[in-house]
Structure 1
């Protein structure tokens, strides 16, 4: 079994990625009784690494970026079984929830985003170890102050054999910005010169986007934007010739979005909603020899226990979502590799502040005080999860390590609820069906709130329905998985700035708006870190969301497969499925 991190030891990963000081590491090692040889091995591994901030504002903004050789990163060295890569074979990946859409303009949840990446690729990708920008469909780029010039991959083609051009990329970005599209990605690109006027409908074009020739695109920003290159991973180019003048929104009935043509490593075959999503190798993919696999099936399975059973029986080849209750069973299975990744941003509750009662801060704080997250972690997270500590993942460079979990204080919760007045009986808390941990958290929340005199309506619904209701702001209390960040703290601006395109809480705080705006313009890592420290403190006091618990993930794959890289990037070990192959 390959272990990226044993339960409770994600701190070692954090140290190796320069987020934990040497002294703190040694102290933590002593507390856990780490042996001398093991300690020396970890320190030796660190000694050879370059101390680069993980996706810091100064990281990933080189004057010139060029393609990197596959298989040279630290994460790749830790990756998978040896064996010569070869073409052929297929993989069945089990997933817990169905994707809402594969429309690259509006996809906004993990399963849909991953499928979009497989079918359309990304203009700029992220390195799977450092999470810094690296070439994707953009072969390279140069930056001159606020102007970026991108060179596209010379042989990039769509899955129908037609050339992918700079015009297609420009069309895609403008489609995201267009008001009629109502894209949740729109706020990510408003720093482009003229983007705000175009998005508002007061301009016919985006002044800062210029097609220089079929393979070169120039983008000029209106102001510095530390997240700009990272956000280009949300640009998955579509063929302009097939979609120009058509509806690109989530409501679109255009046949293209039922059977799309993209430039990703795989091309669409079929989709049985609630069952199998199937794609096969794109013969026109620009990376020669890739993908290795002939096809993949992304299979929806009803619940996390059934996913684990399917892995144990061999019915599926891998998954990111088996219940942690089966950790030991999976670990002991001779045919499986089990990887425990570091924590991402916490799970918990997202409040809709348009609800008069939930708009009161004391109500949201009462919820937090009423929940004993140490007890929940011990009882329901199987020793793999922990109480949450705010909206930014612990491994991120901007995480404030001084933040502690919200304290449990039932008397304080009662006092705050009394101040707010009697709670309505129809406030609904939502969890997605089949996610055992979230179902347990919903039940626990219901029980605890009853202790302070609040009877809530607890509802378990399908994931796609929950996603739709949340992004349409048709909810009272939903999952906090929609807010917070693992990769780029700049995401907090999209989620919590007044009128942000993913501000599903309808939250507004002028002081926070100012800080978020300053932070995303700040290219100095330490200055940005200081700003994000203030931002985290405000969010943890206002609580538009309660980041309650770190969800423990198990990334599992059959030992016959190789080529994958452990990562917290979307898709986990399947993030770059085109490099996965059958080793034996």
Structure 2
């Protein structure tokens, strides 16, 4: 997924893994230090379908106000990829399987699933009693319609598996058959773009349906301003009995980091989605606030447009990578809430190879030698595109600017508002930019495909990077079963990316949410989204 939050995250991918490590998260308690273990062994929240994290009777009712840096502009799950929309879509639509706070695939609308030994047949059995938010029953035909519509539309998170058939075995059982094995398929079915909607949009037009969407999720759209706030109410037909505990969920648009912090402190919002790393300790130590964190599927990166005359030259890209002290940048800007990145893949994703990749580490002399091999040995002038309103990225830009100057690359920082920033890089109207790549589902392919496939939706994350060997390895990784062979494929692929640097991985940030101490049981997912169905607000 593409991250487009104003503060830390985000590429779109929502762009784009069964997490093996750390991930926490989040039962906030009244103790402001309890939820945040700062990368240590972290407290987890049980996400079983009908279990609460508390043994006592839950606190019911109230309105939860969530500060977000970008408004929700669409609920069309098959045509969206940015986090501002994805993390609203997943409150309304749910998928057959999903992932928990540790990145583990779990059954959701399906009470069970199985995969044939040859990797070609996927069988899902729906839960009993499932209803949409309008009270109508959920059927296998609804699931078939939803997946077929996704196949037809394609979209930024298209179903990449070569699907042969999608059929009902009986009234409760869905069978999907593939033409050839596609290992990431089950994890990709867990992302927001594979949510289930009513057959034939419930009898209304697509346009009308997505203005007032009907799904199985814990919340229903009540009031929506695409340029402002969004109000959800609880779904009275939600399949998890008694949930959500809150009556309303409000997404409040707050575009500036400092304003979000001030409103959190003042109690005007119950939590903020995008907590800048430099503000984390302040909020953690606040009298009425705390930090809820999780390991993430995010990699903060510097992206090169390889169509640009300067950055089409691999020696220029390598020179800037060698001139940049990524470890120093990480320590200076992330306050212990991130790890320096050597690999494209975050350490919470299998096959990341972060400890084995030979990255282009900080070496000014080697950087100057590399630039001397390029077509621009005396340096040049260029521009670095960055979204305004993000203080961490503003500082990153200055550090990168200084690194370039040290070897003769003069970088002008071009800071523009978020919407225009998106438009510019979508149109390849940049030379180099700061953004982050993020997986949408628990498989390495989620982020690798988004950033290496020149024929994909984003054309290698708008870098237009093309390497035939990398593309070949990408496709091999998709067809190879999990294990040693798949690990070797991704190791080769990631080393090539480290050598040719179409993007420079900077660091893997933890996901941080600023939260009022009066909030319990907010569950942070490794893709940056939040589960609100178990949230309770202490009276």
Q: Which TM class, normalised by the smaller chain length?
A: 0.7 to 0.9
What's the counterpart of residue 544 of structure 1?
Answer: 502
SS at match of 2:144: helix
SS at match of 2:181: coil
Confirm or deny: 8 A CA contact 1:350 1:546 kept in the other structure.
yes
Structure 1: distance between partners of 2:235 and 2:339? 41
2:121 is equivalent to residue 147 of structure 1? yes
Per-residue deviation, 1:545: 1.4
Structure 2: distance between partners of 1:327 and 1:381? 9
Per-residue deviation, 1:474: 4.3
Query: 1:276-291 maps to which residues of 2 (within 5 A)?
Result: 276-291=229-244
Structure 2: distance between partners of 1:266 and 1:294? 9
2:212 is equivalent to residue 238 of structure 1? no
Confirm or deny: 8 A CA contact 1:387 1:405 kept in the other structure.
no
TM value normalised by structure 2: 0.83
Identify which of structures 1 and 2 has the higher relative contact order when contacts are C-alpha pairs closer than 8 Å and 6+ apart.
Answer: 2
Q: Structure 2 residue aligned with 1:358, among 311, 322, 333?
A: 311
What's the counterpart of residue 185 of structure 1?
Answer: 157
Per-residue deviation, 1:273: 3.9
Structure 2: distance between partners of 1:245 and 1:426? 54
Per-residue deviation, 1:486: 8.1
Structure 2: distance between partners of 1:100 and 1:374? 37
**Any gaps of 5 or more consecutive residues in structure 2?**
1-31
Confirm or deny: 8 A CA contact 2:326 2:507 kept in the other structure.
yes
Structure 2: distance between partners of 1:524 and 1:553? 27
SS at match of 2:220: strand
What's the counterpart of residue 168 of structure 2?
Answer: 211
2:512 is equivalent to residue 512 of structure 1? no
Q: Describe the shift of the 1:142–1:395 C-alpha distance in structure 2 as closer, same or farther (beyond 3 A).
A: closer
Query: 1:113-132 maps to which residues of 2 (within 5 A)?
Result: 113-129=86-102, 131-132=103-104
Aligned residues: 497
Q: Structure 2 residue aligned with 1:101, among 74, 79, 102?
A: 74
Query: 1:251-400 maps to which residues of 2 (within 5 A)?
Result: 254-400=207-353
Per-residue deviation, 1:149: 1.9
What's the counterpart of residue 28 of structure 1?
Answer: none
Per-residue deviation, 1:343: 5.0
SS at match of 1:238: coil
SS at match of 1:93: strand
Per-residue deviation, 1:297: 1.0
Confirm or deny: 8 A CA contact 2:187 2:441 kept in the other structure.
no
Q: Deviations over 1:463-492 (max 9, x none)?
A: 344334444544433334135688320111
What's the counterpart of residue 135 of structure 2?
Answer: 161
Structure 2: distance between partners of 1:458 and 1:118? 37
Structure 1: distance between partners of 2:370 and 2:439? 25
Q: Structure 2 residue aligned with 1:135, among 102, 107, 110?
A: 107
Q: Describe the shift of the 1:98–1:316 C-alpha distance in structure 2 as closer, same or farther (beyond 3 A).
A: same
Per-residue deviation, 1:172: 2.3
| Structure 1, 285-294 or 486-495: larger mean CA deviation | 486-495
Q: Describe the shift of the 1:459–1:173 C-alpha distance in structure 2 as closer, same or farther (beyond 3 A).
A: farther
Confirm or deny: 8 A CA contact 2:523 2:532 kept in the other structure.
no
What's the counterpart of residue 433 of structure 1?
Answer: 388
Structure 2: distance between partners of 1:486 and 1:142? 18
Structure 1: distance between partners of 2:94 and 2:126? 13
Confirm or deny: 8 A CA contact 1:269 1:280 kept in the other structure.
yes
Q: Structure 2 residue aligned with 1:223, among 154, 170, 180?
A: 180
Structure 2: distance between partners of 1:553 and 1:306? 19
Per-residue deviation, 1:236: 1.2
Per-residue deviation, 1:317: 0.6
Q: Describe the shift of the 1:333–1:480 C-alpha distance in structure 2 as closer, same or farther (beyond 3 A).
A: closer
Confirm or deny: 8 A CA contact 1:230 1:488 kept in the other structure.
yes
Q: Describe the shift of the 1:329–1:191 C-alpha distance in structure 2 as closer, same or farther (beyond 3 A).
A: closer
Per-residue deviation, 1:542: 1.7
Q: Deviations over 1:501-538 (max 9, x none)?
A: 34332222222222222222222333322322222211
Per-residue deviation, 1:137: 2.0
Confirm or deny: 8 A CA contact 2:452 2:465 kept in the other structure.
yes
Confirm or deny: 8 A CA contact 1:269 1:278 kept in the other structure.
yes
Confirm or deny: 8 A CA contact 2:95 2:189 kept in the other structure.
yes
What's the counterpart of residue 497 of structure 1?
Answer: 453
TM value normalised by structure 1: 0.77
Confirm or deny: 8 A CA contact 1:345 1:484 kept in the other structure.
yes
Per-residue deviation, 1:239: 2.5
Q: Deviations over 1:78-130 (max 9, x none)?
A: xxx7742243111111123334532201221223211110011223111223x
Structure 1: distance between partners of 2:231 and 2:405? 45
Per-residue deviation, 1:289: 1.5
Structure 2: distance between partners of 1:267 and 1:316? 20
Q: Describe the shift of the 1:472–1:117 C-alpha distance in structure 2 as closer, same or farther (beyond 3 A).
A: farther
Structure 2: distance between partners of 1:166 and 1:473? 41
Of Structure 1 and Structure 2, the greater helix share is in 1
2:377 is equivalent to residue 416 of structure 1? no
Q: Describe the shift of the 1:314–1:290 C-alpha distance in structure 2 as closer, same or farther (beyond 3 A).
A: same
Structure 2: distance between partners of 1:361 and 1:425? 15
Structure 2: distance between partners of 1:270 and 1:69? 28
Indicate the RMSD between aligned Cα atoms, in angstroms. Answer: 3.0
Per-residue deviation, 1:159: 2.2
What's the counterpart of residue 23 of structure 2?
Answer: none
Q: Describe the shift of the 1:231–1:344 C-alpha distance in structure 2 as closer, same or farther (beyond 3 A).
A: closer
Q: Describe the shift of the 1:105–1:524 C-alpha distance in structure 2 as closer, same or farther (beyond 3 A).
A: closer
